[in-house]
Amino acid sequence: MYNFKKEKGITLVSLIITVIILLILSSVVMYNVTNDDGLMSAVKDEKNLINETDAKQTVEIAIEKLKIESDDNIEQFIEKLKTELQKEDTKAKVTINSKDENMYDVTFKGYKYSYYYYTDQTRTITGRMPAYYNPIIPKGFDILETEDASWEVVEDENLGKIVKGWNDGLVIQDRYGNEFVWVPVDGTDVKYEKKIYSNNEARVTNLSVLSESVLPNNIDEEEQIKKYGGFYIARYEAGINENTTDSKMKNALKTASMDARNIEGIPVSKKNQVPWNFIDYGNAKKNSENMYKTQYVQSVLVTGNMWDTILKWLENDGVNVETGSNEWGNFINSTIPGITEYSTDDGATWQKVNQTIKGTSDIWLLKTGHTDYTKRKNIYDISGNLWEWTNEVYNTSNYIDRGGCNFQLSTDFFPGCRWHSGGEYYTGGLTFRVALYVK
């Protein structure tokens, strides 16, 4: 009896221990089941990410295939794309974006994407819609690789495919060799707006007295900023085409005077050209607007908004655009190495020399983009060399010129300050610069 009772007692204890262990295990299992939302959610998110990536890849492969095979308008293109995608998803939809007629929305396998439609007329190097980090390339232009800014396509962690040198001064070139630089406007670090830089010599210290002259076809200059996230500015001051066959332009090349140079004609934006000075506001504006008048691009005289936006962009890179601008501009108080050609008579004659240094007592006019000393962000001669007419109007009757000049001190006149002159005013110290409006 004793032994039987002892064995019975051990069995009961074992049973109790077993029950307790089972209860503990079941509690742990229930806890994990009811509190594993994070793990299950992570697994679900990973699966969704894989599915979305696969879907996006399918869409973009179809887009690339159609772009290679055809040059349709956007309506024809989206119809073909919809047909292609519905082979895998019968519910696939492709529609023109309600806010931008140059974009289209794709709904595929439950995911929605937006793309910019482009052909040879309007394209980007990445194939994505234009942005400040992905410049539009208008028809008639191609990319130009430079030491300072690369058009290489790279992957950004937050933005996806971008152009590597988007903030360094990307250059495009037309078939005649005219060059323009991309100025990105992200709306945060660089805004498209005017700014007053004042000094003792500046004539304009109040934005309220400024406006813009009417642009061709009533262009709204801010429209391209909203659409493309930036604009193109001529890399060089306006030059007189040294290869011209026009008799008037040939005369302008060799004669530095109002009679010879204050004429209508097509300027160039090329390196080492004779600057187009002795020109009044009316012809500067007209010649700027006549450079390109296509279905895709309209050239304009640089506006006040453009000029100040460029300066802000340069300032963000540590460039001094005020009294210290002789550090990178052609002023009396500049010391510039490596000069091989200069003029002391407003460009009538040119002296060729062997790597000469311009000292602080030398008043020398330089050809467009003659030295990298005057280059920042791939743009030449914004600082000094010659004053430049802008499209900006002062008190309805005078027009604004910017940049300063080779025969002045940067402490008095510099890229940021504004000078105003009558529309019929001309001088050997005044030229102009072209900008592009991409439609």
Domain span at residue 109 reads 37-116
The CATH number of the domain holding residue 430 is 3.90.1580
**What is the rounded distance in angstroms from the CA atom of residue 378 to the CA atom of residue 366?**
17
**What is the rounded distance in angstroms from the CA atom of residue 64 to the CA atom of residue 5?**
85
Assigned domain for 381 exists:
yes
232 & 101 share domain: no
Predicted pLDDT at 6: 41
H or E element in which residue 284 lies? helix 281-290
81 & 221 share domain: no
Number of structural domains, the chain?
2
**What is the rounded distance in angstroms from the CA atom of residue 255 to the CA atom of residue 278?**
10
Which residue did the predictor score with more confidence, 155 or 69?
155
Calculate helix-pair angle for 37-69, 74-85, nearest 10 degrees.
Answer: 130
110 & 214 share domain: no
Assigned domain for 252 exists:
yes
394 & 292 share domain: yes
Query: Could you report the per-residue pLDDT of 154-207, keeping only the tens digit for each?
Result: 999 999 999 999 999 999 999 999 999 999 999 999 999 999 987 666 778 889
One-letter amino acid at 132 equals Y
Tell me the pTM: 0.76
273 & 380 share domain: yes
Q: What is the dihedral of CA 209, 214, 219, 222, to 10 degrees?
A: -10
Predicted pLDDT at 1: 35
Predicted pLDDT at 5: 40
Which residue did the predictor score with more confidence, 386 or 31?
386
Query: Are the C-beta atoms of residues 104 and 96 closer than 8 Å to each other?
Result: yes
**What is the rounded distance in angstroms from the CA atom of residue 17 to the CA atom of residue 15?**
5
Query: Are the C-beta atoms of residues 202 and 392 closer than 8 Å to each other?
Result: no
Query: Are the C-beta atoms of residues 272 and 177 closer than 8 Å to each other?
Result: no
Last residue of a domain, one of 99, 116, 133: 116
**What is the rounded distance in angstroms from the CA atom of residue 288 to the CA atom of residue 299?**
6
Query: Are the C-beta atoms of residues 283 and 266 closer than 8 Å to each other?
Result: no
CA of residue 174 relative to chain centroid, distance: 17
Predicted pLDDT at 99: 67
| pLDDT cut 70: percent of the chain above it | 84
Q: What is the DSSP letter of 400?
A: E
| pLDDT cut 90: percent of the chain above it | 64
Predicted pLDDT at 153: 94
H or E element in which residue 338 lies? strand 336-342
Last residue of a domain, one of 116, 141, 173: 116
Gyration radius of the chain's alpha carbons: 32
Which phi-psi region, left, alpha or beta, contains residue 426 (left: φ > 0; alpha: ψ -120 to 50)?
beta
Closest alpha carbon to 203 in 431, 420, 426 = 420
Assigned domain for 235 exists:
yes
Assigned domain for 24 exists:
no
Average pLDDT, the chain: 87
Which residue did the predictor score with more confidence, 362 or 45?
362
Assigned domain for 185 exists:
no
Predicted pLDDT at 46: 58
Query: Rounded mean pLDDT of 385-406?
Result: 94
Assigned domain for 360 exists:
yes
Query: Could you report the per-residue pLDDT of 309-338, keeping only the tens digit for each?
Result: 999 999 999 999 998 999 999 999 999 999
The yes-or-no verdict on residue 34 having pLDDT over 50 is no
Last residue of a domain, one of 86, 116, 146: 116
Query: Are the C-beta atoms of residues 236 and 368 closer than 8 Å to each other?
Result: yes
Length, in residues, of the chain? 439
97 & 237 share domain: no
Tokens of 314: 């340069």
Q: What is the DSSP letter of 201?
A: T
Q: Where are any strands of DSSP class E within 215-335? A: 230-234, 239-240, 274-275, 297-301
110 & 213 share domain: no
Q: How confident is the model at residue 3 (pLDDT cuts 50, 70, 90)?
A: very low
Residue 432's DSSP bridge partners are 389
Query: Could you report the per-residue pLDDT of 213-248, keeping only the tens digit for each?
Result: 999 998 999 999 999 999 999 999 999 998 888 999
Assigned domain for 176 exists:
no
Predicted pLDDT at 42: 54
100 & 217 share domain: no
Lowest-pLDDT range of 96-105, 348-357, 359-368, 414-423: 96-105
389 & 270 share domain: yes
Q: What is the DSSP letter of 86?
A: T
401 & 281 share domain: yes
